[in-house]
Amino acid sequence: MKKDRQPPFKEPSCSFCGRTSNEVTSFVSGPEVFICDICVYNAADILRQGALSNTKTSKKGPKTLPKPSEIKLHLDEYVIGQDSAKRVLSVAVYNHYKRIQAGDLLGSLADVDIEKSNILLAGPTGTGKTLLAQTLARVLDVPFAIADATTITEAGYVGDDVESVLVSLLQNADYDVERAERGIIYIDEIDKISRRSESSSITRDVSGKGVQQALLKILEGTMASIPPKGGRKHPEQSLVYLNTKNILFICGGAFDGIEKIVARRLNSKTIGFHSNAQKSVQESYELLRHLEPEDLIHYGFIPELTGRLPIIAPLAPLTDQAMLDILTNPKNALVKQYQKLFQMEGAELMFQREALLAIVAKAQKRKTGARGLRAIMEEVMLPVMYELPDKTNVRKCVVTKNAVDLGAEPVFEYSAEHAPARHSSKKIADSQ
């Protein structure tokens, strides 16, 4: 009996490069197809290089840089009023990223060197300083980070180092160093690191003058070494080097009491028989539009820091009309937010104009700006939102002035099939 002949063994080879199994480590096999590990690695490297070349142009800043007028229109959608500050911000941001995009061209011109201009926002609390910076970053689609100056101390003391303001930006850029170097950092409460006295002191000012001096190089542009995980709890981590030359810094603060310094400067009078009588300037936040670097120096900033914040954008206190517009006009207005919540419950929410004016009046008494509006709205709407899911067939809810001032129940309108059993039981309980 003859044995069946086995077909001759055919050594597998790569379908792309033709290498045999003796020349490679492993194969990715399919139906009658083999791909060696060398071809897999080369193909992955080609795709990786293509992805890097496609994204490299988008890391130099915004993909399409909007004009200053277009930037201001976007700011108007979210921030009410503050037209002067919006114009200053729009022009400064446009020039900053135009300078970055034209860096290659300007590099060939030895006599032209455009420096960046950081921005200082000065205004009362609740006027939209943080919201302006957040909206700018959203419009430009660049990494954005918020840092608090009150937590920063001089190096070696308890608190955060100055380099910690860069850690959040690197994290928000997904640890992409090149993209983070084109981002925006908003340093809040910058007025809290001022020296409260112009006289020199023998004690160590670890959160005032020392922090200002440490901020100088970062604001101007330096190669900063930062720990990617942040803080001092991981001393073994390798440092990441970040160039701050093209990072736009926006510093904001309320500068409580600086209006007195501005008024004192404007009220300077001449002495003599022929001196003209001058009207005394009243101390108010309206004087911030006359704010000058020398006022910041008297407030407690060192001259070197004021020189690195050349653009000053004062924000005016919010008027009653501006507060009313904040409640209703922006895309994320408070009234629209609560109306959306009521729509989820199948009901319509309305506010009488007198009720909105009462909310504004309460907020102005608290002197906390737009933040006071949310606090009062929460107080007014809390009992309504608590009872709304239990009420059936509610068609409309109207918030009245008495609901704001006296805490009365809003006016509810029910659909036709609503059964008033709950109200009748309440009347019986009241009669007892």
Let me know: does 88 contact 129? Beta carbons within 8 Å.
no
pLDDT for 355 equals 94
**Structure token digits, residue 216:** 């100088």
In the block, tokens 């008027």 appear at 319
Instruction: Please give the Cα distance from 291 to 298 (Å, whole number).
Output: 11
pLDDT for 360 equals 93
pLDDT for 417 equals 60
Instruction: Please give the Cα distance from 130 to 299 (Å, whole number).
Output: 22
pLDDT for 422 equals 45
pLDDT for 336 equals 92
**Each residue's pLDDT expressed in tens, for the chain with a length of 432 residues:** 455 555 555 678 888 888 888 888 888 887 778 888 888 888 877 776 655 444 443 444 566 788 899 999 989 888 888 888 999 999 988 888 888 877 655 454 445 667 788 999 998 888 888 888 888 888 888 888 888 888 887 766 766 778 888 888 888 888 888 888 888 899 988 988 887 544 455 455 565 788 888 888 889 888 888 877 665 555 556 788 888 988 999 999 888 888 888 888 887 654 455 545 444 556 666 788 888 889 999 888 989 999 999 999 888 888 899 999 999 988 888 999 999 999 988 899 999 999 999 999 999 998 888 888 999 999 999 998 898 888 878 889 999 999 999 888 898 888 866 544 444 334 333 443
pLDDT for 207 equals 58
Judging by beta carbons within 10 Å of its beta carbon (0-12, 13-18, 19+), is residue 257 exposed, middle or buried? exposed
pLDDT for 324 equals 93
Q: Is 369 left (phi over 0), alpha (psi -120 to 50) or beta?
A: left
Distances (CA, A) of 265 to 54, 253, 270: 55, 21, 12
Q: Is 255 left (phi over 0), alpha (psi -120 to 50) or beta?
A: left
Let me know: does 323 contact 370? Beta carbons within 8 Å.
yes
Task: Give alpha helix (H) positions in 277-319.
Answer: 293-299, 303-307
pLDDT for 56 equals 41
Task: Give alpha helix (H) positions in 36-176.
Answer: 37-55, 68-78, 83-101, 103-107, 129-140, 164-172
pLDDT for 423 equals 44
Element (H, E) at 343: helix 334-344
Instruction: Please give the Cα distance from 198 to 299 (Å, whole number).
Output: 8
